Each structure stands twice: as C-alpha cells, then as structure tokens.
Structure 1
Amino acid sequence: MDTVKIGVLNLMYNKLETNQNFYKSLTRAHNNVELVYYYSATRYVDRKLDPSITNTMKPLDLNDLPNLDGFIITGSPIEQLDFSEVTYEDEINELLNTLNEMRIPQLYVCWGAMAALHHLYGIDKKILPHKTFGVFQNNVLHSSKLLQNISDNFPAPHARYAEMNQQQINDNSQLVLNVLNDKGLLFLAEAKGKPQAFLFSHLEYQRDDLKKEYEREYNAHPELDPVQPENYYSPINDQPMFAWKEIQEKFFGNWVEQVMAAKEQACS
C-alpha cells in the first residue's frame, strides 16, 4: 500500500508536543502514514516563531491540499471566544470551504470540530457552566466505521469549556450524532454524505497530557483554582491512568483506514 499523506493544522498551544501526539496516534496501527504539519499563516504574520516550529512545520498553504490524502484540524484553547473574535477566522473558514469541496477524509478535533460544524452547518456553540475535564465513559447512539472494534461505554479524555447545540445537530439531515459521553456531552458526530468527522474528545492525548493541561492552567491563573481532571488518577498510587490508549489506537487506526480507502478509490 502506498504511503498516505495527512495534513495537520496544529492550533494548539504546545505545538511540538501536539505534533508528536498525533504522530503516535496515527502511526501506532499503520506505519505507512506521512504527516505534514501546518501552523496558521495569518495568526503569526507579525510574530516570530521559534525555529523548532518553523523547522518542522509550514505556514498553511491551500495549494498543498490537492497533494494530501486526508486532513486534520486540531483543537485550540479558544473555545470561550466567539468565532468572530478569532483573529485567524477567515483563514480557517477558507480552509474549511476548500476541504468541504474535496473528497479527502477530514477529521476535526475539539475546537476544530466546533469551528467546522458552525461554519459548514450553522451549528451554534454555547459555553458550559464549568469545564468538562477528565476521563469519561462514552455511549454509542449510532454506529460508525470509526468505531469499529470499539465496544460501547468506552473511556476517553474530554477537556473543553464549550459544547455545540445537540438539537441542531439532530435536526440537520446532513449530520448524525454518533456518541455522547456519560455527562451527555458530545464525543463524535459525522456528516452523512461527506467524509467529515467531528471529534470532541482530545483522543490524541497521551497519558500525562490532562495533568500537563491542569498544570498549565494553574500556573497561568492559580487564583482561578482550575478544576482537576476527573476519573484520571489511579486510586492506588495517585498517578495518571492511560485508560483510553486502546481506544486511541483503534479510532485513529480506523480513520487512517478510511484515508487509505479514499485514496485507493480516487486512484482506481
């Protein structure tokens, strides 16, 4: 099988670590995957980026898209902002419009999923009363190829301050709501006629990433007393548990198989 080339627009704070997280998640089940990492071109137009980023990532260039077999937009710690307040909103929307016209599989993660559902399908976002943060069980409402070999009531990490309007998703004939967690919040939705998946879990996170996210928030604003991640630390030794590792491998493995199948179909 030929190598599949997947673009990743990385909007996270910790870019290099996020690149590694997606690399581990996407190549654990398949080794014929090449990732091309991008950062927002307009967000950093007046800011100097560290050479460790510019040496391993490229500014987003829509001219690259025809050379890619799949595309991911990551989360971003900006879900409490209105979409119109995001300084690089136009760049994201132009990317979404272009991807929407293409047949390559698209995976939108956390804020990326929010932005895509809002721009492409008019789904509204709302701020949650408090951050949903920790490892929660997730219940399958509608099956999906992305959930193949994943049993119902599976664990996955959630870390966000916002949620999309579930009623609007259910009412939209172009969308299906696949999975909710045990707090009734989104895990996965998909488009029915297009290869678009909207993942609301940071399923790419590795064992210590919820702990690191808490520490970043605490160090930035200790006075806000940020919440600790739920259902995450072992009751035996108080260390983080990687309860979603198997789910991570299966879900991203299933998505890469979709990318492979779409490439094969395009070539036939």
Structure 2
Amino acid sequence: MNTVKIGVLNLMYNKIETNINFYRSLTREHKNVQLIYYYSATRYVDRKLDPAITNTMKPLNLDDLNDLDGFIITGSPIEHLDFEDVTYRDEVNALLDRLNEMRIPQLYVCWGAMVALNHLYGIDKKILPHKTFGVFQNNILHSSALLENISDNFPAPHARYAEMSQQQINDNDQLTINVISDKGLLFMAEAKNKPQSFLFSHLEYQKDGLKKEYEREFAAHPENHPVQPENYYSPINNEPMFAWKDIQAKYFGNWVKQVISAKASVCN
C-alpha cells in the first residue's frame, strides 16, 4: 500500500510535543503514514515563531487539501472562550467548510471536535462546573469501526473545561454519540453519512501527558490551585500510569485503516 498523507492542524500550545504525540499514536500499528503538520497562519501573522516550529511545520494552506488522504484538527486550550472570540476562527471555519465537502476521513480532537460540531452542525458548547481531568472509564453506546477490538468500559484520559450539548447531538439525525465516560461526558461522536469523527479525549497523550498539563497550568496560574488528574498516579509509587496505551494504539490504528480504505476506494 502506498503511503497515506495525513494533515494535522496543530492548535496546541506545546506544538512539537503534540506533533510527536500524534506521530507515535498514528504510526504504532501502521508505518506507511506521512504526517504533514500545520499551524494557524492567521494566529501567528504578527508573531515570530520558534525555528523548531517553522522548520517542521507549515502555515495552513487550503490548497494542500487535495493532496491529503486524511485530516486532523487538534485540541487547543481555549475552550473557555466563545467561538466568535477566537482570533483565528475564520481560518478554522474555512478549513472545516472545505473538509466538509470532501470525502477524506476527518478526526477532530477535543477543542477541534467542539468547533467542528458547532460550525458544521450548530451544536452548543457549555462550560463545565469544574475541569474534567484524569483517566476515566468509557462506555460504548453505539458501535463504530473506530472501536474495533476495543472492549466496553475502557480507560482514556480526559482534560477539558467544556462539553458539547449531548441533547442537541442526540436530536440531530446526522450525528451519533458512540461513547460517554463514566462521568457522563462525551468521549466520541460521529457523523452518520460523512467521514467525520469527534474525539473528546486527549487520547494522543503519552504516559506523562496529564502530568505535563498539570505542571503547565500550575506554572501559569498557581493562584487558581489547579487540580491534579484523577485515577492517574500509581498508588504504589505515585508515578503516572499509561492505562490507555493499548486503547490509543487500537483507536488511532482503526482510524488510519479508515484513511487507507478511503484512499484505496478512490484509487479503484
């Protein structure tokens, strides 16, 4: 099989680490994957970027989409903002509109899932009473090819301050909620007739991902007394546990299989 090309619009603060996270997640079961990393062109129009970013990433260019076999929009630590207050919203919306017209598989992660559901389907966002942060069990409501070989009640990391309206998703005949956490929050939803998946877990995080997120929040705003992640540290040695490692490999491996299958169907 020829190499599949997957675009990643990386909106995270820790861009290089995020690129590595997605690379490890997407290539663990499939080696014939090429990732092309993008950053927001409008977000950084007047800001100088670290050469580590400009040497390995490209400003988003919608003309590239025709050469790609799949696309991912990552999370971003801005879920507390209204969508209209995001400075690069027009750029993201233009990307969403183009992707919505295409048949390539699309994976929207955390804030990426929120903005995609809002822009494409009119689903509202609400701020949670407190951050959901830690490793939680997740219950499968409706099957999906992305859940192949994943058993019910599986662990995955959640780290966000907002949630999309489950009622509106359930009322939309174009969408399905596939999995919710044991906290009653979204893990995954899908479009029924388009190759769009909405993942609310930071499933791409590696073993120390939640620890690093806590440390970043504490360093930035210790006065807010950020909470430690739940169900994450070993009771034996207090070290992080990578409880979702196998789920990560299977889920992203299943999504890459979708990309490969979609490319093959076009080629045939």
User: Normalising to structure 2: TM-score of the pair?
Assistant: 1.00
Amino acid at match of 1:215: E
Q: 2: distance between equivalents of 1:266 and 1:191? A: 20
Aligned Cα root-mean-square deviation (Å): 0.2
Q: 2: distance between equivalents of 1:105 and 1:246? A: 22
Residue in structure 1 matched with residue 128 of structure 2 by the alignment: 128
Among all aligned residue pairs of Structure 1 and Structure 2, give the percentage whose two residues are the same amino acid.
80
Task: Report how far residue 71 of structure 1 moved.
Answer: 0.1
1:46-61 aligned at under 5 Å gives the runs 46-61=46-61
1:228-243 aligned at under 5 Å gives the runs 228-243=228-243
Residue in structure 1 matched with residue 184 of structure 2 by the alignment: 184
Per-residue Cα deviation, 1:89-122 (whole angstroms, up to 9, x for no partner)? 0000000000000000000000000000000000
Give unmatched runs, 5+ long, in structure 1. none
Q: 2: distance between equivalents of 1:248 and 1:256? A: 12
Residue in structure 1 matched with residue 201 of structure 2 by the alignment: 201
Task: Report how far residue 203 of structure 1 moved.
Answer: 0.1
Task: Report how far residue 206 of structure 1 moved.
Answer: 0.2
SS in 2 for 1:52: helix
Residue in structure 2 matched with residue 18 of structure 1 by the alignment: 18
Report runs of 4+ in structure 1 exceeding 4 Å deviation.
Answer: none
Task: Report how far residue 163 of structure 1 moved.
Answer: 0.0
Q: 2: distance between equivalents of 1:250 and 1:99? A: 25
Residue in structure 2 matched with residue 42 of structure 1 by the alignment: 42
SS in 2 for 1:232: coil
Task: Report how far residue 212 of structure 1 moved.
Answer: 0.4
Per-residue Cα deviation, 1:43-96 (whole angstroms, up to 9, x for no partner)? 000000010000000000000000000000000000000000000000000000
SS in 2 for 1:248: helix
Residue in structure 2 matched with residue 254 of structure 1 by the alignment: 254
The answer as to 2:68 corresponding to 1:76 is no
Q: 2: distance between equivalents of 1:195 and 1:223? A: 43
The answer as to 2:117 corresponding to 1:108 is no
Task: Report how far residue 12 of structure 1 moved.
Answer: 0.1
User: Normalising to structure 1: TM-score of the pair?
Assistant: 1.00
Give unmatched runs, 5+ long, in structure 2. none
